[in-house]
Chains A and B, each alone.
Chain A
Amino acid sequence: DAKTTQPTSMDCAEGRAANLPCNHSTISGNEYVYWYRQIHSQGPQYIIHGLKNNETNEMASLIITEDRKSSTLILPHATLRDTAVYYCIVRVEGNNAGNMLTFGGGTRLMVKP
Chain B
Amino acid sequence: DAGITQSPRHKVTETGTPVTLRCHQTENHRYMYWYRQDPGHGLRLIHYSYGVKDTDKGEVSDGYSVSRSKTEDFLLTLESATSSQTSVYFCATSSGTYNEQFFGPGTRLTVL
Spell out A's residues near B (CB within 8 Å): 32, 34, 36, 41-46, 49, 87, 91, 93-94, 97-106
A-side interface mostly: loop
Expressed in whole angstroms, the minimum distance between the Cβ of A2 and any Cβ of chain B is: 14
Contact call A46/B100, Cβ cutoff below 8 A: yes
Known: A43-B90, A98-B56. A105 touches B42 (CB 8 A): yes
B42, B45, B48: the one within 8 Å of A106 (CB): B42
| Chain A proximity mask over B32-71: 1 for CB below 8 Å, otherwise 0 | 0101000000111100111000001011000000000000
A42, A93, A97: the one within 8 Å of B105 (CB): A42
* A93 to B95 Cα, complex, angstroms: 12
Contact call B94/A99, Cβ cutoff below 8 A: yes
* A36 to B49 Cα, complex, angstroms: 21
Given contacts A44-B103, A100-B45, 20 further A-B contacts (CB under 8 A): A36-B101, A43-B92, A43-B105, A44-B43, A45-B103, A46-B100, A46-B101, A49-B99, A94-B97, A94-B98, A94-B99, A98-B31, A99-B94, A99-B96, A100-B58, A101-B45, A101-B101, A102-B45, A103-B43, A106-B42
Spell out B's residues near A (CB within 8 Å): 31, 33, 35, 42-45, 48-50, 56, 58-59, 90, 92, 94, 96-106
Known: A43-B90, A43-B92, A103-B43. A98 touches B33 (CB 8 A): yes
- Pick 28 A–B contacts, CB within 8 A, sort by A: A36-B101, A43-B103, A43-B105, A43-B106, A44-B43, A44-B101, A44-B103, A46-B100, A46-B101, A49-B99, A93-B98, A94-B97, A94-B98, A94-B99, A97-B56, A98-B33, A98-B48, A98-B56, A99-B94, A99-B96, A99-B101, A100-B33, A100-B45, A102-B45, A102-B59, A103-B35, A103-B43, A104-B42
Contacts of B90 in A (CB 8 A): 43-44
Q: Quick one: which of A34, A91, A98 has the most chain B CB within 10 A?
A: A98
Contacts of A101 in B (CB 8 A): 43, 45, 99, 101
